[in-house]
Structure 1
């Protein structure tokens, strides 16, 4: 039985040309009895061809993708494409407005709510509409992320694993076409509730990114994001082949986060002092940093250690940590078949 959604779209997904509008979700908080949350959406269509879904603002404190997709909406001529683009540049609008990873409306991380619930909270309604309406229209998904305000990450394009070898190959080829300095397989420890995991279940060729972080905008990674989106669109046949530009041959080397051993977590509250720079080679058992006690500074700081060999792929951005915060992430050569 089909799930019934209250989300309405002011755009026609089957109409040629360029349309901008909103996905409107009824929302009745204390301040607004008959209000709505309105997510900006753009559809660009030119005849028959593949459909790519482009998303940013899944987390509100990740900015390069939001800028790049806004620019694409303003500049792309429908006559220059073959097929259709569905562009959602501020997917989690409440979090985007607040500049936060999670929604200030319901406190949820939208990227842990798929396949959503059309009768649930705002975040759950957004992901239900994506799962039930938007994803079935698509052939490919590009979901643009960065490290946000809590992580600094090496700029990279991300492979969401697929159990079917042919689907996995499609994902890898599209991610390599993005042409980031690194290609990294990230399974989120098997987490099924993410946008990219849901896209793989829907059969979409799936591309993710991590565009640096620190809660700011990097000019270099913004340029990479702009170029990478167009590269993927050329790869899937929506833009002409000569729209692609390639700079990073090293991206052909595929890395992965090697399971739970790839993460270093804070073992106490305090201030984290990292021992290495992003990109440094590290070894299992090597000291990853120190956690300094803020309540008893006369105590010796507590060391934390890497659990895997590889390179330092991500590092916590704020110095202040609490027990369980992710302090460091290691990426290692991919061990699977491609």
Structure 2
């Protein structure tokens, strides 16, 4: 298996760098080659402030062994290497762009577009399956859930849905978006892909990292089989219980209609009835200038929890039940 200038033979684990042409950046990559089977790409840090997945992928790169895998696993712990190095927001430092809106990218474009194009041109062609790990941003709390894309080829959708069923989350979201994001673009290109959300506020905990790792191992066990995936995996009985997931096909993403101070009334994971007040925006004198209500009975998937709320920024996202 060769990725850029990185090469691994069966039974080998190799770590190295893939340059992002036209920038000073390189993507850190670990390739674990277990044989002639299919290849799974695992990424984190597409949003650089989402740290649970970053730590989980770094640990998986160290822990997984070639003999565990009936194919190849490619692990990239940080995709937004620009934003991560600056400890800024989750956007790319140079151009302020959100990587998960810029795929497939452009080699002649801005830094964000060049990073996306490197993933598209170098990593995606090698991948038969794709797992992308995310969290809430620095200012967001989040209830764990997993995405797959619905409006793609049936065999791709079915394979991705089966991958999502291996993940220990209460909710599964069938996204209707096929453009812009890494896993969205990969799905539309024919690669069964899922995006796992866990954690937020720029923090990570041992429990969250272990949960991400267990989910990845369960997906790999589903794809490859083998006892080598059992380390950190849940039992078949627990996985069966985890399969009692609620499918959401209608998610509402509500941005702030004005700037001010944000006061949410619920927490991520709460069930809210139709017309419930989810939160208020107040001006700097404490006057209510906007009330956010649920249009339908819903579960809050993630929401802003910082006091400051810029106009047009994410406020709350909920899944219609």
TM-score normalised by the chain length of structure 1? 0.85
Compute the displacement of 1:84 (Å).
Answer: 0.4
Listed as ranges, the gaps of 5+ residues in structure 1 are 1-7, 29-35, 334-338
Which residue of the other structure, out of 36, 44, 48, is the alignment partner of 1:56?
A: 44
Determine the structure 2 residue equivalent to 1:45: 33
Compute the displacement of 1:308 (Å).
Answer: 2.2
Q: Distance in 1 between matches of 2:102 and 2:122?
A: 16
Does the 8 A contact of 1:157 with 1:176 survive in 2? no
Q: Distance in 1 between matches of 2:274 and 2:169?
A: 27
Determine the structure 1 residue equivalent to 2:245: 253
Q: Distance in 1 between matches of 2:151 and 2:224?
A: 22
Q: Comparing 229-238 with 138-147, which one deviates more in the overlay?
A: 229-238
Compute the displacement of 1:96 (Å).
Answer: 1.6
Alignment pair present for 1:200 and 2:195? no
Determine the structure 1 residue equivalent to 2:18: 23
Q: Secondary structure at the match of 1:177?
A: coil
Q: Distance in 2 between matches of 1:13 and 1:192?
A: 32
Q: Distance in 2 between matches of 1:320 and 1:132?
A: 39
Compute the displacement of 1:301 (Å).
Answer: 4.9
Paired residues in the alignment total 313
Output aligned runs, 1:77-88, within 5 Å.
77-88=65-76
Determine the structure 2 residue equivalent to 1:178: 167
Q: Distance in 2 between matches of 1:122 and 1:16?
A: 35
Output aligned runs, 1:221-232, within 5 Å.
221-232=208-219
CA RMSD, Structure 1 to Structure 2 (Å): 2.2
Q: Distance in 1 between matches of 2:28 and 2:169?
A: 27
> Structure 1, residues 224-256: CA drift from partner, whole Å, max 9, x if none?
101011111111116548624253625432332
Determine the structure 2 residue equivalent to 1:265: 255
Compute the displacement of 1:278 (Å).
Answer: 2.2
Compute the displacement of 1:23 (Å).
Answer: 0.6
Compute the displacement of 1:92 (Å).
Answer: 1.3
Q: Comparing 265-274 with 204-213, which one deviates more in the overlay?
A: 265-274
Q: Distance in 2 between matches of 1:129 and 1:266?
A: 33
Q: Comparing 205-214 with 245-254, which one deviates more in the overlay?
A: 245-254
Q: Distance in 1 between matches of 2:320 and 2:58?
A: 34
Distance 1:252 1:170, change over 3 A: farther
Which residue of the other structure, out of 269, 278, 286, is the alignment partner of 2:268?
A: 278
Does the 8 A contact of 2:144 with 2:170 survive in 1? yes
Determine the structure 1 residue equivalent to 2:278: 288
Q: Secondary structure at the match of 2:7?
A: coil
Distance 1:147 1:323, change over 3 A: same
TM-score normalised by the chain length of structure 2? 0.89
